[in-house]
Structure 1
């Protein structure tokens, strides 16, 4: 069992954070203006991404204040990035890649993020209409992956894609919310909540999310 990726959407249905771990094929960079800045260097259309070195690429940050090492798991591999980066063991593909959802279409990340949110919105509305307002949509499973959803009272949605055999990850996403999210995003005066201008640009939050996920028993 394993975990593929994490998306966080704000109350405006906008993806403000992205993180992946075991995606064998990653989406194309988003088109200019397709996503907010600082969502993830893995899918950012910023021109400086191609000039960053391998360490900053894999950490997801190009800032001189960067304290994340290249093995933190913030994996960034965008199209021809691998051909530009030096050949190191970290840049080699996994020996037995896992086919993950929504990667065979070659979609840009902004289109992928819209599709993921559209699936969540449609299934949530269907559950409410068929089962009543007391029922909640928490996950669904296909033969290739399992999608987990956790929605906060403030309207933020945490979405994780995992192996189809994984148990519910709602408790993990709740840990992300009550732990790193409240600590490094909500209580951080430098982060503008509900600004519609930036993603979650906080390296401590990204590092905390990575440590939390890597420490799970379902993470190989």
Structure 2
């Protein structure tokens, strides 16, 4: 299994943690200031890659749209765990407190939901939630916890190949 990226979204739909295993590491940043005269009413042009904020919006938007579609077609008892394209597979896990864990892997990956549950229960709860210095809401700065970051890498490394 190849892991491309890992995301955590809070109950306000904000990306609070991001780890990219495919591309060079980028820190989670707030939106850069945009000159409104240059970018009026349309997307920026050029060949530059999307920012982390743009990636987060696309990923959460995809998850949100698919969850709503499944709920409307199959009813509220139906759940969404993953979807697959020709290039990647997106795995989704939502906690009772509306934290959303998303992992993007290669198309052959199976059984990622228990891994996401273990990341939540074993790492996120232990290193972030139980940390008395951690803020209750992570919307403004994201999760900046070195123990969680190192624990996540140690946990995922035996399970995956990072290209």
User: Aligned-pair distance for 1:195?
Assistant: 4.7
Q: Which residue of 2 aligns with 1:17?
A: 17
Q: Which residue of 1 aligns with 2:161?
A: 219
State whether structure 2 residue 31 is matched by structure 1 residue 34.
yes
Gap regions ≥5 residues in structure 1: 36-44, 46-103
Instruction: Note closer, same or farther for the CA distance 1:204–1:195 as it changes in structure 2 (3 Å cut).
Output: closer
Contact kept? 1:158, 1:173, Cα under 8 Å: yes
Instruction: Note closer, same or farther for the CA distance 1:29–1:201 as it changes in structure 2 (3 Å cut).
Output: closer
- TM-score, normalised to structure 1, is 0.63
Q: Which residue of 1 aligns with 2:4?
A: 4
Q: Higher strand fraction: Structure 1 or Structure 2?
A: 2
After the TM superposition, which segments of 4 or more aligned residues of structure 1 sit over 6 Å from their partners? Answer: 27-30
Q: Which has the higher contact order (CA 8 A, sep 6+)?
A: 2
Q: How does 1:133-144 map to 2 (within 5 A)?
A: 133-144=76-87
Instruction: Note closer, same or farther for the CA distance 1:28–1:6 as it changes in structure 2 (3 Å cut).
Output: closer
Gap regions ≥5 residues in structure 2: 34-46
Instruction: Note closer, same or farther for the CA distance 1:195–1:166 as it changes in structure 2 (3 Å cut).
Output: closer
Instruction: Note closer, same or farther for the CA distance 1:26–1:143 as it changes in structure 2 (3 Å cut).
Output: farther
